[in-house]
Structure 1
Amino acid sequence: MILLLSISITFIIATLVMIVASLLAKKTIMDREKNSPFECGFDPKGSARLPFSLRFFLIAVIFLIFDVEITLLLPLATILNLSSISTWAFTGAVFIAILLLGLYHEWNQGALEWAY
């Protein structure tokens, strides 16, 4: 019963905080200057809402994936003393093989080509 009471009190407090925050965060004054993009006090030369290059985004995501994979490979050097050399080498080789297969797949699909 105490657990149910504490959960319901927590839920009520969280709901009240969210309602109060949404009421206080509403912008009531809509100003043209605040809604326009800021370029050092001057009027913008072009549209600030230009479409983003999907190819650049895809290259950035691939870079991020391989960057995270490298951070997963770094602990292999520290566990060399804690495990046998065959287990260590097999784990590293399998991990690098999976990365290379992913890279080959991305290359084969044409995701690494910047322009056609």
Structure 2
Amino acid sequence: MVERGRCGRRSQGARGADVPEPTVLADGYFQSYSVVGLLAVIGVLFVAVAFGAGRLLRPVVPTPEKLLTYECGVDPVGEGWAHTQVRYYVYAFLYVIFAVDSIFLFPWATVFAAPEYGATTLVEMFIFLGFLAVGLLYAWKKGVLEWT
């Protein structure tokens, strides 16, 4: 006896015995992706309409005062090029590094509560914190953290 599968094809093995067809993806699998795609398109259209409306509705009256460079309410003096201290970028970079690394601590805390992963995750986290400590020690030894 040969039965027909979902697609109407016969399903027989090498010797003619009936074998089940391979499992088919769930019917709503790609539908969930279409919802995400639809939301992305709606978001892009919303932003495009907002920018378009702003461009059409804003008043355009250029004056010489409006075309000047704005520097915190002070009239600009001299050239537009100014030297910036590199230490600001170093502090910002160190902040971003430690902020991102601290985000990795939250998933670790949830896994650490699991009974079978406690000791392993504890060792992994101390290795991770050790790398952070070595990086901070390196920055301190190089004098990066001194504000002079």
TM-score (norm 2): 0.48
> Relative contact order (C-alpha < 8 Å, sep 6+): which is higher?
1
Structure 2 residue 118 is the aligned partner of structure 1 residue 85: yes
RMSD: 2.6
Paired position in structure 2 for 1:68: 100
Deviation by residue 1:38-96 (Cα, 9 ceiling, x = unmatched) = 25776335655322110111111111111110011121111123342210110110011
Paired position in structure 1 for 2:143: 110
Instruction: Return the letter of the residue paired with 2:127.
Output: V
SS at match of 1:58: helix
Aligned in 2, Cα 1:42/1:113: closer, same or farther, shift over 3 Å? closer
Q: C-alpha separation between the residues in 2 aligned to 1:80 and 1:100?
A: 21
SS at match of 2:89: helix
Instruction: Return the letter of the residue paired with 2:145.
Output: L
Paired position in structure 2 for 1:98: 131
Q: C-alpha separation between the residues in 1 aligned to 2:94 and 2:67?
A: 34
Aligned in 2, Cα 1:34/1:60: closer, same or farther, shift over 3 Å? same
How much does 1:100 deviate?
Answer: 0.3
TM-score (norm 1): 0.60
Moved more, 82-91 or 32-41: 32-41
| Aligned residue pair count | 85
Q: C-alpha separation between the residues in 2 aligned to 1:54 and 1:40?
A: 22
What does residue range 4-83 of structure 1 map to in structure 2 within 5 Å?
36-39=68-71, 43-44=75-76, 48-82=80-114, 83=116
Larger Rg: 2
